[in-house]
Amino acid sequence: MTSEQAHQEIEEYLGQVPSWMETIAEPASDHSWGLFRDLVLGETELSQREKGLVGLGVAAAIGCPYCTYFHKQEARLADASDAELEETINVASNTRYFSTILHGNEVDHDEFVAETDEIVDYIQQQEAAPADD
């Protein structure tokens, strides 16, 4: 249960206090609201659209139907198209797929980092190279 001040603030932001917020234990309720307010609803380095898409990708990857629905609606409010929503979920799936391969095969992390850095350097050099006319 949130404090009276947090309760009023949630109603101002959302038009109501969602029932699930009432299930957050007292020691964490106001803090949890603050995290949600500041990171999800607040002005940050990421746009509302970007935050919605990131949230959707994570929600899909962890298989949370609640978060998937919420972040899909959040992204739609910020004008993300259905194609962008689908691509976000596919990118998340791709990340989870390769993470499973890397972890399952116990790929050496230091070697992975070194190879990734080499790939980034190569791509940067290719982008900086003058185009052949």
pLDDT attached to residue 22: 87
pLDDT digits (tens, 9 = 90+) for 26-69: 889 899 999 999 999 999 999 999 999 999 999 999 999 999 99
CB contact burial 27-57 (16+ within 10 A = b; e otherwise): eebbeebeebeeebeeeeeeebbebbbebbb
The pLDDT value recorded for residue 26 is 87
In whole angstroms, give the CA distance from residue 30 to residue 5: 9
The arithmetic mean of pLDDT across residues 73-86, rounded, is: 97
Residue 127 has pLDDT above 80, yes or no: yes
Secondary structure of 82-120 in HEC code, one letter for each residue: HHHHHHHHHHHHHHHHHHHHHHHCCCCHHHHHHHHHHHH
77-94 average pLDDT score: 97
Report percent pLDDT > 90 for the chain.
85
- C-alpha distances out from residue 22 to 33, 42, 87, Å: 11, 21, 34
State mean pLDDT over 75-97.
97
Is 70 exceeded by the pLDDT of residue 1? no
The span from the CA of 103 to the CA of 92, in Å, is 16
Task: Quote the pLDDT of residue 129.
Answer: 86
Instruction: Map out the domains of the chain with their CATH numbers.
Output: 1-42 (no CATH), 46-132 (1.20.1290.10)
Give the mean pLDDT of 107-119. 97
| 18 Cβ neighbours under 8 A, 6+ residues apart | 10
